Amino acid sequence: MKITRVDTTPAPGASALVRLRTDEGITGVGQAGAAHAVVAEVVAAAIEPLLVGQDPLLISRDAAMIGEVWEALHGAARGRAGAAEAVGGTDIALWDLLGKLTGQPLRRLLGTARLSARACVAVSGGHEAEAAVAHGATAVKVRVGGDVVADIALVTGIGAAVGSEVDIVVDGAGGYDRLDALRMARALEDVRVAWFEEPVRARNLTEYNAEHAWLAERVAIPLAGGKRLRTRYEFLEPLSRHAFDVLRPDCTVVGGISEARKVAAMAAAWGIRCAPYSAGSPIAHSAALHVALSTPGAEPIEPGAPGTAPVQTTVRAGDGLGLGLPAASPVSRGMAVRVMV
């Protein structure tokens, strides 16, 4: 068996699908969290030349070999725009291929016995949150980042509606300056906030780390971040500055499943949590879920958009091979369907 082609196609959300095709018709699929034109250039120039002609049974025979291939691919692509994302999409495809070749779902290859994770149901207000809890939800997520007074009222209202036994994930979406983020965080100290995610706006990586480290020194609720960081190396500074209590690597941005697992190991070494973030497609969702199931404490995880029915209170990994995507799914035909926030 040989890899005959590495191709890319555009996907919604400024991303690209990456497929590893073999001469026996088995295809591994991944997703890169960067614009298709950027990813396609990196794949054509640096990735496809290294992989075409290789035997995927050798490359994908175990996790250690995939790790070696990651280093080779990243070395070849380093310095190019979209390198981490393109290598990450390829890495996800390699893991998917490994599962298909070995007849195993990805969660087993990653060494986990867990079959499910607690779901975090996306809501937009107290009534939706209350309804979700009535259906069994133990965690909800709300997006803020606008007017701080209205946002405080929104989140405290959700807290009042769901009670003290339900976790609330608050996504700041980089919507505040540091003072409003501080005001917001302090107002939420009496609410059961699982974490306050990336509340401070930043124009570059230096500002991102500095602003969140500044905020972390002054608040008592957990802060989360990292979904836009590329490779484990960009996590070193926020870790050393104690900027976050929860790391949220995005498999499609950080460099794939292999790199997200390294970030999870770094978080464990620093004594903090890691909860992988999904960019929204079935591929990104599946990659994040399988990594989460192999990472202690990596929950809750978002299962769907606001208003999704029925309310999903648990996210389960199926027994499908590799990522577990159905052969006839829209993804296999080049489309990415949004299933998460």
Over residues 155-208, the pLDDT tens digits come to: 999 999 999 999 999 999 999 999 999 999 999 999 999 999 999 999 999 999
> DSSP alpha helices (H): ranges in 188-232?
205-216
Over residues 188-197, the pLDDT tens digits come to: 999 999 999 9
pLDDT tier for residue 341 given thresholds of 50, 70 and 90: very low
Separation between Cα atoms, residue 152 and residue 112, nearest integer Å: 38
pLDDT value, residue 306: 44
pLDDT tier for residue 328 given thresholds of 50, 70 and 90: very low
pLDDT value, residue 279: 58
Domains 3-103 and 116-333 share a fold: no
CATH architecture, range 116-333: Alpha-Beta Barrel (3.20)
Residue 105: asked if its preceding bond is cis (omega within 30°), the reply is no
Separation between Cα atoms, residue 110 and residue 258, nearest integer Å: 10
Which CATH superfamily, name and number, covers 3-103? Enolase-like, N-terminal domain (3.30.390.10)
Q: Where are the domains of the chain?
A: 3-103, 116-333
Whether the pLDDT of residue 218 is over 80: the answer is yes
How many CA atoms within 13 Å lie on the side-chain side of 99?
27
Provide the whole-model pTM: 0.91
pLDDT tier for residue 335 given thresholds of 50, 70 and 90: very low
Q: Which amino acid is at 45?
A: A
- Cα–Cα–Cα angle for 266, 270, 273, rounded to 5 degrees: 75
Q: Which amino acid is at 174?
A: G
> How many angstroms separate the first and last alpha carbons of the chain?
38
Residue predicted with more confidence, 227 or 61: 227
Name the token pair of 310.
């029925």
Strand (E) or helix (H) holding 315: strand 314-316
